[in-house]
């Protein structure tokens, strides 16, 4: 009799225990899955951020390849430049001082040699591909350089020319050398390191 009761209890408890085990396992699995949601969301956000950054960089490169109004205008003969300026509505709507500035820039451009024009185009392409942070760094370093005495400006300019012709490893070796520390003042070193970080192959601006 007792055996029959125990067997009946076992039959009644068995499914209940199995259901409890199933519920427990489901809860544990759900907890494990929920625990991965923040990490997965973070990874997804990071992927989206990287994609947006890559898209912005691609757009900057594309804009750098596409000449603007002034770039298209300056490659024309002077007589054609003037004809376009007189007939271009956008130009005519500009303030007089802005129009005069454009004419002066065109005049200076027309007086440059082909080699000088090629160098300026190369600099423009580099600047156009910089990030806003890098462009701000260039403006700040340029301002500091302009405020230097003439001899220091010349020394920095010559060093930048040397660095431009170096490979990234050669450039870094030069910046880390005792010769660099002994040849330039702390302010000169700061400018050279800052602008040197913008050369191709460099690590980028210091944070």
C-alpha–C-alpha distance, residues 90 and 112, integer Å: 26
C-alpha–C-alpha distance, residues 96 and 102, integer Å: 10
Whether the CA torsion 166, 170, 175, 180 is positive or negative: it is negative
What pLDDT does 174 receive?
A: 93
What pLDDT does 54 receive?
A: 64
Whether the CA torsion 98, 76, 65, 206 is positive or negative: it is negative
- Within 10 angstroms of residue 176's Cβ, the number of other Cβ atoms is 10
On the CB side of 42, CA atoms within 13 Å amount to: 5
Whether the model clears a pTM of 0.85, i.e. scores above it, the answer is no
Per DSSP, 165 falls in state T
Both structure tokens of 148: 């230097």
What pLDDT does 124 receive?
A: 79
What pLDDT does 38 receive?
A: 55
Average pLDDT, consecutive stretches of 10 residues, N- to C-terminus, the chain (207 residues):
42 45 49 48 72 63 56 88 89 90 91 88 78 84 89 91 88 92 92 80 49
At a CB cut-off of 8 Å and minimum separation 6, what does 190 contact?
Answer: 144
DSSP count for the chain of H helices, then E strands: 11, 0
């Amino acid at each position: 009799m007792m055996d029959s009761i125990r067997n009946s209890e076992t039959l009644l408890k068995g499914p209940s225990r199995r259901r409890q085990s199933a519920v427990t396992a489901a809860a544990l699995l759900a907890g494990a899955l929920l625990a991965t949601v923040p990490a997965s969301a973070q990874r997804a956000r990071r992927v989206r951020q990287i994609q947006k950054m890559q898209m912005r960089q691609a757009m900057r490169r594309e804009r750098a390849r596409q000449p603007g109004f002034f770039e298209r205008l300056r490659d024309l003969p002077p007589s054609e430049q003037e004809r376009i300026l007189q007939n271009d509505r956008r130009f005519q709507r500009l303030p007089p001082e802005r129009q005069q500035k454009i004419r002066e820039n065109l005049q200076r451009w027309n007086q440059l040699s082909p080699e000088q024009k090629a160098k300026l185009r190369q600099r423009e392409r580099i600047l156009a591909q910089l990030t806003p942070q890098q462009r701000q760094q260039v403006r700040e370093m340029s301002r500091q350089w302009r405020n230097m005495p003439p001899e220091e400006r010349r020394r920095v300019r010559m060093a930048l020319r040397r660095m431009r012709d170096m490979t990234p490893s050669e450039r870094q070796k030069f910046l880390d050398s005792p010769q660099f520390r002994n040849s330039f003042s702390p302010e000169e070193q700061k400018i050279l390191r800052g602008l040197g970080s913008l050369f191709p192959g460099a690590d980028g601006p210091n944070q």
